[in-house]
Amino acid sequence: TRLILATRNAGKINELKAILADAGLTHDLVGADAYPDIPDVKETGVTFAENALLKAHALAQATGLPAVADDSGLCVDVLNGAPGIFSARWAGKHGDDKANLDLLLAQLADIDEAHRGAHFACAAALALPDGTERVVEGRLRGVLRHTPSGTNGFGYDPILQPEGETRTCAELAPEEKNAISHRGKAFRALVPVVRDLLG
Ligand code: ITT
C-alpha cells in the first residue's frame, strides 16, 4: 500500500525513505512532491506535534491515503528554544537554509563554548483518511559550532555537533546521521504504530 510522505523538503524525503525502509516498512513511499496540486497547509500550530499533525491530516484528506508528516527544527538553549517551530523561516524566507544558518550564527557570535547547547527536535505524525492520528517525537542533543562544516544533510546540519561526536551532522554519512538523529528516533518509533494501524 501507498504511504504519503507529507513533506516537500527534499532533505527530509531522502532521510525518511532510508529510515523507514531500514526499519522494514515495505509500503510504497511517495513524497508530497508527487501531488503538486495539493496546496501547502498553513502551519498554525504552536508545537512540532501540532504542525506535524496538521500536515499529515491535510495530505490524508486530500489523497484519501494514509500520510506521515515531519515537523522539526533546531532549539537553542540560550535562545529559550528558538528558532524551534520557526526554523525553516528564521531569516524571513521559507526554506532559505543558508540565510537561516547565517543569521543564527550571527546571533550566537558572542556566546562562549560552555553555552552553545542545542537540540534538533522532530515530531513524526501519522494520519489516516478516517481521521485517526498518532504522533511521536525524537531529539538529538549537541553543541553549535562557530563556523559551518560539512556538505551532507540540509538546514542547520553544518553547525550542530552531536553529543559524543567530533564531527557535525553535515560531516556524518547519511546512515550515521539517521542512526542518532531526531528524525531517525521519531520515525523508528512511528513504524510499529504504522504497522499496527495499516498492517
Ligand atoms: P515541510 O513542511 O514540507 O515538511 P519544511 O522544511 O518547511 O518542510 P519544517 O517546517 O519542519 O519543514 O522546518 C524544518 C526546518 O528545521 C528545516 O528547514 C531545517 O532548517 C531545520 N531542520 C529540521 N531537521 C533538520 C535536520 O535534520 N538537519 C538540519 N536542519 C534541520
Model pLDDT for residues 169-183, shown as the tens digit of each residue = 999 999 999 999 999
Q: How many other CB atoms sit within 10 Å of the CB of residue 17? A: 15
Strand ranges in 35-78 using DSSP code E only, listed in sequence order: 67-76
Domains of the chain from N-terminus onward: 2-198 (3.90.950.10)
Mutational pocket test of ligand 1: of 15, 16, 87, the residue with most ligand atoms within 8 Å of the beta carbon: 87
1, 131, 88, 139 alpha-carbon torsion, rounded to 10°: -80
Q: How many other CB atoms sit within 10 Å of the CB of residue 15? A: 22
Task: List, as own/partner pairs, every contact residues 31-34 make where C-beta atoms lie below 8 angstroms and the sequence separation is at least 24, other chains included.
Answer: 31/4, 31/5, 31/7, 32/4, 32/5, 32/6, 32/7, 32/8, 32/59, 33/8
| Phi, psi of 122, deg, nearest 5 | -140, 130
Strand ranges in the chain using DSSP code E only, listed in sequence order: 2-5, 28-31, 67-76, 117-127, 133-144, 160-162
Task: Say which of 71, 77, 96, 102 is annotated catalytic.
Answer: 71
- Pocket flag, ligand 1, residue 83 (CB < 6 Å): no
* Percentage of the chain modeled with pLDDT above 70: 100
CA distance 185 to 140: 9
| Per-residue pLDDT tens digits for 114-150 | 999 999 999 999 999 999 999 999 999 999 999 999 9
Crossing angle of helices 10-22 and 182-198, rounded to 10°: 60
Query: Does the ipTM exceed 0.90?
Result: yes
Instruction: Please report the atom of ligand 1 found closest to the CA of residue 69.
Output: 4
Question: How far is the centre of ligand 1, averaged over its atoms, from the C-alpha of 71 (Å)?
Answer: 7
Question: How far is the centre of ligand 1, averaged over its atoms, from the C-alpha of 111 (Å)?
Answer: 24
Arithmetic mean of pLDDT, 6-35: 96
- Pocket flag, ligand 1, residue 120 (CB < 6 Å): yes
Q: What is the pLDDT of residue 125?
A: 98
Model pTM? Answer: 0.98
Q: What is the pLDDT of residue 199?
A: 83
Is 156 marked as binding a ligand? Answer: yes
For residue 71, indicate whether it is catalytic: yes
Which three cell numbers mark 121?
Answer: 527536535
- Pocket flag, ligand 1, residue 153 (CB < 6 Å): yes
- Pocket flag, ligand 1, residue 7 (CB < 6 Å): yes
